[in-house]
Structure 1
Amino acid sequence: MGLFMLYLFCFITFELYTATPTGTLDSNGDYITKNLENITAARNATVTLQCRTKIGNKIQWRLMSVANNPEGKLLKEIVDSNVFELTSVKPEHNGIYACFVNESPLKRYNVTVFESPYFPRKMYQSKLTPSGNRLKLTCRARGFPQPNVVWYKDNQSPPKREMGDIKINDWILTFNDSRVEDSGNYTCLVCNVVGCINFTFTVDVFKRFLGKPVLITKLENTTVSEGANLTMKCEFASDLHPYIRWVRFRNETGLIIVQRSDTSYTEPEVLRIFNATLEDEGWYACFIANALGTTTSKAYLHVKYKEPSKEPQNPKQRLHNLLFKLLQFQKTDPILNL
């Protein structure tokens, strides 16, 4: 019931509106107003701004909310139209826009672009940990306005424990000394006035045991295009302190260590490759070891070749190429040379 009410609240409160301007007409028919018109729009929409003056007057559109520039940043200067469009808007377009006629401000718009919440990074559902460990769940999201988060455990909010407290700091839920009864589904519901999203972590707290690391999720073969970014994660549980190593297999040189947990990596279980090239293709493996053994998972990375974009030729260049080919053909064709 709690989730339904929050979804209903988000649906009711989201409203796209345009305020009606007020003002007077001067002797030249120009529309003069001191009121600031508020316009809100959803991400990727088209926002149309109108400067009510005669067609033919030189109109300057400026972004006024620019630091250290009281006259604003000139965006466009037009004569044949009194309309200015912002296409595929994003929160970065938020600001005050003004139209100037003869260097005098005629109309101002306060543009606000709303963006529904979204998760900027991939999250992993399964959380397996031995009892007694500290558990940390992160549900970081973005959007405009800044979204809020509400946490649930097994559809009950706020989440509670039989023994111990749960600390919630915005996007992060943590508790110490985890117990088997802390197992369950932990859901973060993230909402702003545009909408809501949610993500559920499946937490499994098991009794402590002595053994080698337990692999939770195996690596999977991945295909990416040349120039793309990718992430591989070796998810595991270990009662003892683990040592993590990522390697790459090469036929010529054997194994190459690409990442180790005893270096400065904050997430040694995650391997990130930026701007992948054809040379990055191959087998990758993660090794997780503790004092009682080693667990391994491997996967193949396939990088697809990306053809370079061809610049279109202008008409003169196409005609030049055609004449050149005809001349070359004439030289080699005995009939044309008669």
Structure 2
Amino acid sequence: MPIQAELEPEFLQALENHTVTQGRDVAWIKSDSKAILAIHTNMVALNPRLSVTYNNHNTWKLHVSNVQANDSGTYMCQVNTDPMKSQMGHLSVVIPPDIVDSVTEGSSAQEGGSIRLTCTATGVPPPTVLWRREHNRPIVFRHDGGRERKVVDSHRGETLELAHVQRTDMGAYYCIASNGIPPTVSRRYHVEVHFIPQVKVTNQLVGAPLGSDVELQCFIEASPKAMNSWYREDALLSDKLTENPKLRVSETIMNEYSLWINLTIKSLALADYGTYVCASVNALGKMESQVSLHRLELSMNGFGAEEPMVSGAAWQRARNSPSHRAQPAASHAHQYFLAQHLPPQLYALLLTVLRYIHTF
């Protein structure tokens, strides 16, 4: 009987490297780390996440379940020959990005001050952090006392520093962390810029005839949130709204720090004429702006048109009153303002046309 030579063990294929996401499972042909994990199918390492399987022929597999970050490293498959034969493979564990919880400092400042936002992200590989504003609004960096500025759509880095902040910088900023391993994560930071209220009335001098409706319009910017109201003769009109159906105050929010607050007076009577005050007060101070409501008497002129009977001084004040921001387009049919750039005769003709239209 011929003598058969015993064949030396050899590796049938190279040991593969693996990259897996934390929390997944991985299986390998029999492998070792620097410490012995298993001999044949007998586990040496006391780790319930590790196991070895054998196909009763030529394949051993090391299984690592619920992979953790510290499982990363080089593993060795060793055959007990003389000399020893071995193969090595590397396990790379990647971790999706995460934003570390931390207290956000400096998310508010007075106008002209500075704000610093910090967003710390972890993950393997290390994430890239990008800052963006809500609704794709631009991020503005100001330098040299605010005289120079740079406008960008996004900013890269864990820290976002805003110097010489303005009220237009208010709003939500998003920290977005990504490293190619889904999912990408983000966190919302809110920036507040504080300033004393600014109050502007649309017209400082308003004329309207008896029996008509008139709307006094006031534009307010304030942060932090302010208490806004209309006054007359040291009385708070909003307190009388439930008692007097002639008075109505309405608010139209424009953005985080600005709004319109309008006072409507219905069926004007003699007692309604006078000075009205639009006021706003917050933690930083109080501001007011006045509207003088005059009676507008109409009489027929030589051309058959109704002409406003207002003193020349009143007309001069109306023409010289400053114009302000654009106001909402809506106005009542009986609302009459002394136009700033129209001569009395042309304005009288305009009033006649309005009254004619109103009869239909």
Query: Shorter-chain-normalised TM-score: which range?
Result: 0.3 to 0.5
| Bigger Rg, which one | 2
Question: What's the TM-score, normalizing by structure 2?
Answer: 0.42
Question: What's the TM-score, normalizing by structure 1?
Answer: 0.44
